[in-house]
Every structure is written in C-alpha cells, then in structure tokens.
Chain A
Amino acid sequence: MPIFRSHILVCGGTGCSSSGSQDVQKVLRDEIAKRNLDKEILVVQTGCHGMCEMGPIVVVYPEGTFYCRVQASDVPELVGEHIVKGRPVQRLLYSVPEDASRVPFYKDIPFYGKQHRIALKNCGYINPDNIEEYIARGGYEGLGKALTSMTSAQVIDEVKASGLRGRGGGGFPTGLKWSFAAKSPGPKKYVICNADEGDPGAFMDRSLIEGDPHAIIEGMMIGAYAIGADEGYVYCRAEYPLAIERLKTAIAQAEEFGLMGTDVLGTGFNFTLHIKEGAGAFVCGEETALMGSIEGRRGMPMPRPPFPAVHGLWGKPTNINNVETWANVAQIIVNGGAWYASMGTEKSKGTKVFALTGKVKHTGLVEVPMGITLREIIFDIGGGILNDRKFKAVQIGGPSGGCLTEEHLDLPVSYESLTGAGAIMGSGGMVVMDEDNCMVDVAKFFLEFTQRESCGKCVPCREGTKHMLLLLEKITSGRGTMEDISTLEQLAEMVREMSLCGLGQTAPNPVITTLRYFRDEYEAHIRDKRCPSHACTALLRYEIDPETCKRCGLCAKNCPVSCISGSRQEPYRIDQEKCIRCGTCFQKCPFGAIGKN
C-alpha cells in the first residue's frame, strides 16, 4: 500500500455540501493531480464535524490543521502553500471571536474543547463510504465480541450496566427495553432504528447516519442478537437523501464483507436490514405510528399496551431505538458498561449530542457528557450570545420541550433535571434566545408546528392544540384578555393529560414553561398591548421623532405602502392606519429618528 504523507479530509455532510464542499473536493482532487501529488496526498470525504456554520470544513492531517469556510477558489492557495510548502493558510484558519486570533489545530478550538465524542467518534474522521476505515477504527469489534464470547443475556446486562437511556427523548433505559423484547416468545422478532428526526433544528441523527453509518448498523445487529431478532428496519425520513444513500452503501458493504447476512462470523447469527423511507410526518417518530407506517398504514399512534416488545411490527416482538442510542451500543460492548457509566450523572449516564442553534456564536452539533451545565454548553462551547447581547432563554427538547431561563444556566444537564425544570431532553435540540425574542411568539411558533403535525386521531391533541394556538394568535395580535391566560393554562393541562401519544402530551410544554417563567410578557401583550421584545408586528408602532428628523425623505421613498408623508418644510410622519410595520423605514433612516415601540 502506498504511503500518503498527508490526508486532506473534506466534509461531505449535508451542511458543508450545501455550502459548496462538493466543488471544493472536486477542485482539490484536480489540483492535487495537476501537481503530481496524487501519490502522496489523499483526499478523503468525511461526515459532519458539527461546526456546520463554519463549513465547508477541510482538515489537513497529520498536523490536524482545521480550515473553515473553504471555497473552491481557495484550493490552489491551500495546496500550494500548505501541502507543498508547509505554510498553513492563515486567513482560512478558525478565528476566535473575542480577539480574532487564529487557531490552527482542530484540538485547540474551544468549540471542541469541552466535547466528549463517543457517538460522534468517527464523524468527520473517517470516510463513511469505506467500511475498511470503520474497521480500522475498531469497527465491528463490538459485534464480534458479542457474537463470539457473550450470551444474549450478557449483552443485555452489559447495556443495563452502562445506564444507557433512550436518546430519542423518552429516556427509557435501553437495557431494560431490550430485556422485554428478549423475554417475548416467538421465532420472529424485529429491531428498528428510529431515524424519523423531525424536531426543527435537530440534526444529530442525520449527521450520525451520514458520518458513521456502520456504527448504527453494528449497534442494531448487537441489539438483534440480544433480543433474538434476525431482521431490522431503519425508518428514515425521505428528506435525508444523503443519509439514505450512505446507509445503502454501508449495508451493501457489510453484506459484501460477510458482516451481514447468514451465519455472521461463523456463529449462526443471521441478519438482514431494510431501509424504509418515511414521508416526513412528525408523528411517525412515535413508535406505534412508525410501525404502522412501515406496515403501509397511515402513520397514527396506537394506545399502549400492548407495547412493541410484545406486539410490534406485524404483530411480532419488536425493539425500537433511536439512531443516537444505537450509535452508542457497539462501544459499550467493546469498552464495557462500567466504562460508559463512569461518565455522566447518577441517573443519566454517558454523553448526549445536542444541536445548538439560535442566537449563539457557534451553532452546530456538540456531544457533551451528561451533567455539564447549560452555561458551559452555551457560553464555553457555543461561544456566548451573538453580538454579545443578553441571554434570555434556551428552548430545549424541540417543539415538545420547554424554555429555561438564566436561573437555570448552572443546571447540570440530565433527563431528570430538565424534566424538573419543565423542559425535556427530547432529541437534544437547543435553541438559544436573546432579548429580541418574544416568548409568546416563541411558544406560538412551536405550537404552530405541533398543531400542524398532529395526526388528528385523538380529540385533545387535534382540537386542544388548535384552540391553544388561536388563543396565542389572539394575544400576539393585541386582542387578548386576562381570561385567555387561564383558559390557556386549563387547555394546556388537558391536552397534556388526555392526549394519546407523546406528541400531544408534550405539545403544551412550550406554552406551560413560557407561562411559568415569562408570564409578565403575556400580561404586557394583553394589558399594555405591547410586545416587550418588539417582535410581534401587530403590536409594533413606528414613529418619527420630528426633532431628530432631518427631512431627507429616505423613509418615504422606501416605504412599500407609501404611508409616510412630509416635505423639506414639514417633518415626516407615519400614517398608522396604513402602516404594515415592515420596519423598512426604521432600517433606512440614517439619523435614528424613527422609534420602535
């Protein structure tokens, strides 16, 4: 095998691909070939590094030099300077927001400093389309160990000992779940990977499949061995074409290498894996709805019990876990449950991947040990609030989650602590908000989502969320009454108590927590007809201060509805009746004469 002195890793995740990494990769390969370096420099496409905002990301090894926002036009310089002459291209290195100093190496970037990557171990480090790179990193060792030296009961015990809990949001102990399916009698059982990631802003499942598909496959096979299944499904939404493509390649390679199919590793264990593309309904992330969808029925939840472990896919015992849960399994088997349990808090073990978005300096995927504080995630890893504004709240757990405030910043993150504060772990979405975000508007946004995604089967969810949304719309448009708040509270409680599945049961969470922590904002909307964050357009009022106005007429010229009048002699004024509150005049005025209220 020829020796490549340097590997250039180009991120090929969805994030970096959409910012042009495919072009970068092509130009890079051409440039390397043109300079006759293709015998000593290898270009590798990898999965996601998590720092998608800085993409396309290119990492040059062995040094581990981390380049951000590399464009195709930067490639000749990068090759000529770094690869040929050994001089890193300073302007493309990561720049620290505080002092604009450049950080050359991957490992020194603060974003990665506090992370502990287990599920994401291989993401951004290996070529996901090459099974040999996965094997080189110890891949399929877990499966080998389980199949050749452990009984299925021992595998379940090891997972129980690890303390791993469902990473899709429920937080149910994985080992225990497996033991139910294992106990169910029957020759035919199934394992399912839930990759129906639907939370706005969450993309860890997609990145995991795109960056390390074999880890999911290996985890599923270990699970199948543990419960006695020989067939599996990955339920992945069709909106993730790249993930599906990588998964298909991975399955084909595993079969080709004899790691999937009949008599795996000569142990008599058989396994086949199918991919089911979902049409993207949020409710299909609920396990009974998901199985219905695989069977070809409409995705609607069913009352439980019977639980899938007893009566699952096509009536057979079935075990469903989320992508991130499966991704942890192989490493738990290789390193032992005690190793995994040594990280995290008393009841929440190991690490969790969060999708950090919103008003933080660094958005992206971060994997942190459980028990880390929100402050560390948002300020140390995320770099703090964008434009150094004031932190207001963080919405955790997606549309079913809740908003936490400044007082929760030092809360150690775990399933229990988040639930206690009114949020949920959920799939791990984390939306950071600053003082410009109106909390009533935020609650409305998330409720709009769950309301739209409600399957309509049960009345509390179908009608309850609809009426809650109508009330929120009433409040944000300035027509609310104080009574609406108590009606909202009653409805929220009812929907939570009476809905059939998790979607409805958690849908009121954003409303409940914002009412708990930001009640004064609701009251301001109702009593003062005012939005304290100036976010609700219906309650906004733009006015021109006649003293500051220099009568330049820029506002009037730019107003799309021509509601501003005035002249060189007359100060300009806005006709409030006609104003659509678009804010154009506010942005255009060079003298700051227009006030927002």
Chain B
Amino acid sequence: MTNKIRTLDDLRRIREASTDLTSARSKGRASIVVGMGTCGIAAGAREVMTAALQELEKRNIHDVSVTTTGCIGMCQQEPLVDVIAPGMGRITYGLVTPEDMAAIVAEHIVNGHIVERLVIGRAD
C-alpha cells in the first residue's frame, strides 16, 4: 500500500499531493479567461483552451484557474484570452493561437512578462 501513513511526514506528503484535488475550488493566484462564445469557438478557442490546460499541466501549475466567458463583442479579434495576474491588471490578448497560448502561460503567468505583441486591451 503506497498510501500508508506511518509518520506525520507521510501525512504532510499526502496533504501536499492532495491539495491539487481541491485547488480548482478556489480562484487561484491568477486566472485565464477564454472567450467561448460562438464566435470564439468558430475561431478556434476550444484548441486555445486545451493548449492552456496542457501547458499548465506540463509545468505542474495548479493554482491558476481557467474559465470561459461569452462573446464580448470583438468577434474579429477572437480567440480572445484574458489573463488576470496580481499586479498586472487584466490583460486582453487577441487572435490567440494554441502556440501563443503556451507562450502566454510561460511568459505572463510564469515569468510575469506581458506578451506585448498580442495585447489588444488592458484594464485594472
């Protein structure tokens, strides 16, 4: 039995490993919001979202939430992705491809650098 808890350290280890079980039930330190209106889906938002999840999984990041939102009226810029990270406000990226998404996770979420070439809007 691999999960047998014999010491307090074992318990802590299981706790550590288990935090991911419920981490999606809190907002997390940052969030990625993918526009998934009909326009977004048609422009490939589905693939962008999958890319975001894969990139987070690859990097073993569990405290970033990924949610969807409806059309915000800028359909020609879809797929639209908002990233909200502490101290950097809400950044809206436009015409995001799955490859861009991976870069956004790496740069914006991990390194704290906004991917300027894709930015189409900012808000606090």
Given contacts A85-B70, A86-B36, A125-B25, contact A62 B56 (CB under 8 A): no
Chain A residue, CB-CB nearest to B46: A84
Pick out which of these stretches binds chain A: B27-35, B85-93, B95-103, B112-120: B27-35
| A153 is an interface residue with CB less than 8 A from chain B | no
Q: Which residues of A contact B38 (CB under 8 A)?
A: 85
B1 A256 Cβ-Cβ under 8 A: yes
Contact of A140 among B11, B21, B26, B35 (CB under 8 A): B11
Chain A residue, CB-CB nearest to B66: A5
Given contacts A62-B27, A86-B33, A257-B5, contact A265 B65 (CB under 8 A): no
Q: Which residues of B contact A6 (CB under 8 A)?
A: 24, 66-67
Interface residues of B in 1-50 (CB under 8 A from A): 1, 3-8, 10-11, 14-15, 17-22, 24-28, 31, 33-38, 41, 49-50
Contact of B22 among A5, A84, A137, A266 (CB under 8 A): A137
B6 A266 Cβ-Cβ under 8 A: yes
Nearest chain B CB to A86's CB is how many angstroms away?
3
Q: Which residues of B contact A136 (CB under 8 A)?
A: 15, 18-22
Pick out which of these stretches binds chain B: A127-135, A321-329, A411-419: A127-135
Once the chains are docked, how many angstroms separate the CA of A5 from the CA of B7?
33
Number of residue pairs across A and B with beta carbons under 8 Å? 112
Nearest chain A CB to B49's CB is how many angstroms away?
8
Once the chains are docked, how many angstroms separate the CA of A137 from the CA of B15?
8
A84 B57 Cβ-Cβ under 8 A: no
Contact of A3 among B5, B26, B53, B70 (CB under 8 A): B53
| B62 is an interface residue with CB less than 8 A from chain A | yes
Given contacts A86-B36, A144-B8, A265-B8, contact A5 B65 (CB under 8 A): yes
| A2 is an interface residue with CB less than 8 A from chain B | yes
Q: Which residues of B contact A286 (CB under 8 A)?
A: none
Chain B residue, CB-CB nearest to A41: B24
Chain A residue, CB-CB nearest to B58: A3
Interface residues of B in 53-93 (CB under 8 A from A): 53, 56-57, 62, 65-70
Given contacts A5-B66, A136-B19, A148-B8, contact A62 B28 (CB under 8 A): yes
| A259 is an interface residue with CB less than 8 A from chain B | yes
| A250 is an interface residue with CB less than 8 A from chain B | no
Question: 5 interchain pairs (CB within 8 A)?
Answer: A85-B36, A85-B37, A86-B33, A86-B70, A87-B69
Please name the 5 residue pairs, one residue from A and one from B, whose CB atoms are nearest each other, closest first.
A86-B68, A136-B18, A62-B65, A5-B66, A86-B69
Interface residues of B (CB under 8 A from A): 1, 3-8, 10-11, 14-15, 17-22, 24-28, 31, 33-38, 41, 49-50, 53, 56-57, 62, 65-70
Interface residues of A (CB under 8 A from B): 1-7, 9, 40, 42, 61-64, 83-87, 125-126, 130, 132-133, 135-138, 140-141, 144, 148, 256-259, 265-266
Please give 5 more A-B residue pairs, beta carbons under 8 A apart, in addition to A62-B24, A84-B68, A86-B67. Answer: A6-B66, A62-B31, A62-B65, A125-B25, A258-B6
